[in-house]
Chains A and B, each alone.
Chain A
């Protein structure tokens, strides 16, 4: 029989409970970044997909170029580019030149900072980045619809715009859910780039807590579990939406 002496006397299974407030705030910031970027990326992605698939020579090339550049460069580089633009410009301005660009602005609601230069840059880069990926999922769904329905709509007298609106888009939204759920579940993890421009998202908070407490194991496991919970809920919700909107018989 061993004595009451534990094998790891220094092991404190929790030790992070006094940081729950920070973790909650970080989680809220991550969820906020995620949803705004996902929705912004959805709207822009739809435009890009339509432009690439149906936009004619010029528009489709512009959309293709945008998508390839975004997908071919690191998200972090895109964020830094956007984040440092005003700093770089300010560095070039001479004292008697134009006024310096403000990078200290912020929008607060009930004492919580919802927008400042860093958050805005993060939202913008995440949204612009996600749009490129979402566009490709949408385009895949559009391409799978086949030209027959397009011809049928046009021979009823539909304009191209009406055809897209009433025939193509409603079907491609349904069809894209399974593949698009990839992007919906990648994006929460990409929001960690916010930490690099000092936005206090969930991952940033974790780093902060670890630097103060050295409780790396339980902090990162706990934070990882939060990401997992968030993504599981999203995946389940998308499954339900997919089943509910499925076209009978298909």
Chain B
């Protein structure tokens, strides 16, 4: 059993808000922070937060962050004793985790083996099923290609046809009868081959109006593994999460207990250590199925932190140092309710097309129970080079109603000018009666799309906005300046 090894310098192999967030905890722990950046973000906030910064080069910015060898080389050069991969990029790349550890550097995350196991979407489901945990009934093509369609139909309709090599909500199609099934298989195979380079498919039962419930787990290297309660992530569009909250509203306590137990059981069976999230699909009838496990820190982890008062990154660091987790499951309390909204550069009026622009003004909301995690700096150019998420707005309240109210007030207080965001859309979403009632499911935004559309502006506000634009636009303002006297004083007179 490895003894505690104090980390002195950690390299954060990521960017944007998560790089800033991780660096802040490192500083609080008295650990030196190193951040890597691409040239087009040379003056980003993460560089200013960290103690040291090194440039990453690549064909594209994303390619730079995916260059594991370069990152390891930098870590060596600056004598970092650990790498935190954040989320996305290389965080679930088993080969990267191995390369880091082979270089004698600690990888703040689970073992490469656990990453590999859970990274295989098909293999991990089989693993989970074998260990007796609920998995949505499925049929895998590669088991026997000839009988694939038949085995799929036997599960019962509706079915979801998925690419084995897919993920992130891409390459999935619904089939409601045999005829559609045959068509969808053709379509899905063509797409899978084109986008993922691998045409293999599997089918699973399609749950209508499901809820997406996930459980935060964390384990140490001494065999202790606990859950830090669940999160509700049902508000999604095209399988991308928009709003997350903790705890899941209106969840039957017995059902909750079963879900939490299943998550812990799955993680334990996988010999999991460090932080991870087990995701489930919850059917309206109350049955739930394993969806996948993410072997990394998730975007929405702050809501868990808000209700437990724990710092997940600090816990990750301690686990990586070989420290035993000083957490007793029974003693991990949750208090109140937390909601997170993802502020994205997109235009809800243009079917959420990505928006570009420059951050001309930024005034984050502040106050008790309000947390704004961003990697934004004034003057920053927002392009399509990276993910459209600009920031996470997280609130905590004594109750769900209080949290919703606090979130809506914070969304209205947030000033972010220069690039179109979904902030007003989120305000309307949180104000929807169904959201307040906790009647959530993954089709929520589609079902209520019409009601969530922007209403026509009220006349008083419209005049205020037009007046502001009239008085500040150079084009418009200059032309009124030149009306000479006495004409300006005489006004609109006719003889």
Indicate whether A and B interact: no
List residues of B whose CB falls within 8 A of some A CB: none
